[in-house]
Each structure stands twice: as C-alpha cells, then as structure tokens.
Structure 1
Amino acid sequence: MKGLTIQQMAIGDSATFTKTVSESDVYQFAGITGDFNPAHINEEYAKDTVFKTRIAHGMLSAGFISTVLGTRLPGPGTIYLRQELKFLAPVRIGDTITAKAEITGLVLEKNRVTLRTTCTNQEGVLVVDGEALMSPPKA
C-alpha cells in the first residue's frame, strides 16, 4: 500500500478521519504516554478546573491528524517533517472529533507538501488548528 505522490495531489485536496473519544481512549493514551495529569483521569480533581470535567489530552486529538496524514492524505509511506498546533477548545469524553488535512502548498522540486490541519467537534467548534509539512512517497 502506497500513498499519493506529489504529482497526484493538488492544492485544495483534503481528507478526514472521525472518531468519538471514549473514556477508554483517554486512559489508554495516559498509559501509553505516561501523562496521568488529573485533568484527564480524575473526575473529582477535574470538577474544580475551568472545564468542570475531565478533558482528553490535546495530543490525542493531534494523533487523529496523524491518522489522516499517514493513512489518507498523502497516505502510507509519507514522512512527517513538522507540525504546528494551536489547542483552541477542550475535547471532552464523548465528543466526536473530525480531523481534516487540506493541501495548501506543493513544492515539487523538494517533494514537500504543506497542509492545514484541523480538528472540529460534533458541534463544528474548531478545537485544534495547525499546519503540517510532509514528504510524500516518491513515484
């Protein structure tokens, strides 16, 4: 399985991945990364935060962006070179997040693709905004 080459892409092309964040996802992410911040795993603690409940790790949402880039656009064989992220709103357990990547630039001679990367929740609220630089597979 091989992703798209730079010659197969155009500015404006996009792809998405959607997932509902479960309590299990948050606990597994904490276990994998070691990030046991009580804002993510302790409801009693989280009740006293600005969010009033537990929130998912920001990097969990960023992982959904990685899914789009590594499996859909450009896809398998792509090398992730850079990612800039702004975390704009919390993601709560039960939220359905749609990660989207849209091509904003192509540099053929360097085999580089720039993409706007976003995550929105089920209400259309932008929760993550960013930009990625990728090196897609060669022909």
Structure 2
Amino acid sequence: MIKDIFFEDFEIGHVREGGSRTMTETDFVVHAGHTGDFYPHHVDAEFCKTTEFGQRIAHGTMIFSIGMGLQCGDINPRAFTYGYDRMRFIKPVFINDTIKTVVKIVEKRDNPKNASRGFVTEKIEVTNQNDELVLVCEHIISVEKRA
C-alpha cells in the first residue's frame, strides 16, 4: 500500500515490528553466489567444525539485507534511504535461525542543504529466535516536508 508520510508525521519513540524469516542453507549458498563471498566461514561445513562456532555462520551482509527487507511494508513516496550508520554484527546467525526486525524512530533533524526535506533516523535491531540481538544499525531516511 502507498502511504504519504511526511517528515512532520514521524514521532520520536514510535516502534514498528517487521516480519520474521528462518535462514536456510539455500540462503547461504545464493548469497555467496550473488556476492562472490565464498569464505569457508559461510559455506564449508567441515572447516566450520574447527571454529569457535562449530557451524557455518551467515554473511553479515545477508543478515543486513534480509533484516532490512523484513521491515519494509508500505511504500512511502515522500521518503528514501539516505544511508546507514553504526552497523554492528553482534552475534552470529546460523542455518535454521529465525530473525526478526524491530524499528524505532530515534531522531529527526532538518536537512541543512535542502529546506524542503528532513532526516529521520531509525534504530534497526535484528534479533534471533531467542530474542538475542544479532545486528544493529541506524537507518537514515530523507523525508519530504509539508509545503
């Protein structure tokens, strides 16, 4: 659904939950193929038995991409992504882990270069099925102001 949400409509502290998704071996293989990242930590089960985790770990970029996708819902033609800050991979994600995303509005500020737009910062938290934090970042969106 398309929803026009202007800068003024965003409220500090507002929280929304995204969906959830279970990571599969296919996800690992497809992501490796898309990115060219075939490091053994992600694709070599025998090698991973010798590591501290004992099994394959998800690509951080995959968890970021899927985590961001899980929070996408309505289309807001008034906003677009400006960038991401302070991204951290807190805990590894394994095959058969289920991740979910929670988004909280933490900041609003004017755009010093364009008075018709403002910046909204969302804190993104991706957790696993045990509610353990696996990824955190800030998502900055540029949002049109009301005329």
TM-score band by shorter chain is 0.7 to 0.9
Where do 5+ consecutive residues of structure 2 fail to align? none
Aligned length: 138
Listed one character per residue, the Cα deviations across residues 18-44 of structure 1 (whole Å, up to 9, x for unaligned) are 111111111111111111111111100
Aligned residues of 2:101 and 2:124 also touching (Cα < 8 A): yes
Displaced runs of 4+ in structure 1, greater than 6 A? none
Structure 2 CA distance for partners of 1:119 and 1:84, relative to 1, 3 Å = same
Task: Give the number of the structure whose residues are more often helix, by fraction.
Answer: 1
Higher mean Cα deviation, 40-49 or 60-69? 60-69
- The whole-number CA distance in structure 1 between the counterparts of 2:145 and 2:67 is 22
> Unaligned regions of 5+ residues in structure 1, if any?
none
User: RMSD of the TM alignment (CA)?
Assistant: 2.3
Shift in Å at residue 64 of structure 1?
Answer: 2.8
C-alpha distance in 2 between matches for 1:3 and 1:18: 25
The equivalent of 1:66 in structure 2 is: 68
Q: CA deviation at 1:73?
A: 7.5
Matches within 5 A, 1:1-139: 1=2, 4-15=5-16, 16-68=18-70, 71-72=72-73, 75=76, 77-108=79-110, 110-136=117-143
Under a length normalisation based on structure 1, what TM-score does the superposition of the two structures give? 0.85
Q: Distance in 2 between matches of 1:74 and 1:12?
A: 21
Please identify the structure whose Cα radius of gyration is greater.
2
Question: CA 1:135–1:78 in structure 2 vs 1: closer, same or farther (change >3 Å)?
Answer: same
Percent same amino acid among aligned pairs?
Answer: 31
CA distance in 2, matches of 1:132, 1:102: 10
Q: Report the Cα distance in structure 2 between the residues aligned to 1:138 and 1:32, rounded to whole angstroms.
A: 37
